[in-house]
Amino acid sequence: MVHGDGSSRGDIFQRMLQHPRYLFRPWIPIVKAVEGEVFARQRLIHPVLDVACGDGIFAWATYRGPLDVGVDLDPLGLAEARRLGAYRHLAVADARAMPFRSGSFPTVTSVCAVEHMDGLPLVLRELSRVLGPGGRLFLTVPSDQFGDLLLGSRIWRALGCPHRAVAYGARKNVRSHHVNILTAEAWRKALKAESLEVVVAAYLLSPAVMTVWSLFTSSLFKLAFLPFRLVRERNWPGVQLLLRLLLSAVAPILDRVTGTDPATGGYLFLVAEKGRS
């Protein structure tokens, strides 16, 4: 079995800041730390396949040891995942056509990736194919509430401009290449069509977390942060240490705010089980 070490969101956020790629893009670990805390609580049975694993920083910061197999389309990302030792085996592969026998894995995970993939039925069919009978698929995806919970959208609604709020959220989804934004019920139906029964559907990224994330992705913050971004390639230890000290103030904020909400959240955490028949 694979487990995390029971770390809080703040702990995982701090670990993620140890990697320069996230240190100089601190808005990413704000979201990833919430996801990491949830994944670290799960019982993942070996061998585990992580689909669209990217650079491996998430797995490296979340779990006690390496996952079994990671696949991604980006060879450069996989090179970093290999350097970090986040996976025992890595392969360049399309999620719609993976080089594994049917039923090879009792556990398949995918963290905030399926929403970007064209051909959703093909993706879900392939995830189901490689999953063994009784196996479990663990997914995080942006929810259909993502655009509405952005701070900019909420400000427009407070100003009495609901159409501008909707347009603001829609633009953010387009910029983020969110091509699969479904309701929880629609995800249930899409997964059930591929013999995957949803057993958990929980909202992540509460309005409070979405506010923190929105502030860190705002033009104002990115402008103030620009001096650090300009020197990130110089690899100056003093600058990195200063930045980690400054950003460490975010960790207790993440631990204090509610990360999940029964009915509201910018992301969905889905667990689906494959039928044994």
Model confidence, pTM: 0.94
State the pLDDT at residue 87.
98
Q: Are 52 and 77 in contact (CB under 8 A)?
A: no
Question: In angstroms, rounded to a whole number, what is the distance separating the alpha carbons of residues 147 and 210?
Answer: 10
Helix (H), strand (E) at residue 96? none
In degrees rounded to 5, what are phi and psi of residue 108? -125, 135
Q: Are 213 and 27 in contact (CB under 8 A)?
A: yes
Our CA angle for 16, 18, 23, nearest 5°, is 75
Residue 3 has pLDDT above 70, yes or no: no
4-20 tens-digit pLDDT? 666 899 999 999 999 99
State the pLDDT at residue 263.
85
Model confidence at 262, in pLDDT bands (50, 70, 90)? confident
Adjacent-strand bridge partners of 202? 269
Q: Could you state, in order of their start, the residue ranges of all structural domains in the chain?
A: 9-144+178-274
Pick the CATH number of 9-144+178-274 from 3.40.30.10, 3.40.50.150, 3.40.50.720, 1.10.540.10: 3.40.50.150
Q: Are 149 and 168 in contact (CB under 8 A)?
A: no
Average pLDDT over residues 176-200: 96
Average pLDDT over residues 142-166: 96
Average pLDDT over residues 224-237: 90
State the pLDDT at residue 2.
57
State the pLDDT at residue 73.
96
From the list 54, 62, 275, 266, the residue with the least C-alpha distance to 172 is: 266
Helices and strands per DSSP (H, E), number in the chain: 14, 8
Task: Give whole-number Cα distances, 62 to 6, 164, 229, 261, in Å.
Answer: 9, 37, 25, 22
Average pLDDT over residues 203-231: 93
Higher pLDDT, 260 or 59: 59
Task: Give whole-number Cα distances, 116 to 119, 156, 174, 204, in Å.
Answer: 10, 27, 10, 18
Kindly provide the b/e burial profile for residues 49-73, where b requires at least 16 CB atoms within 10 angstroms of the residue's own CB.
bbbbbbbbbbbbbbbeebbbbbbbe
Q: What is the mean pLDDT of the chain?
A: 94
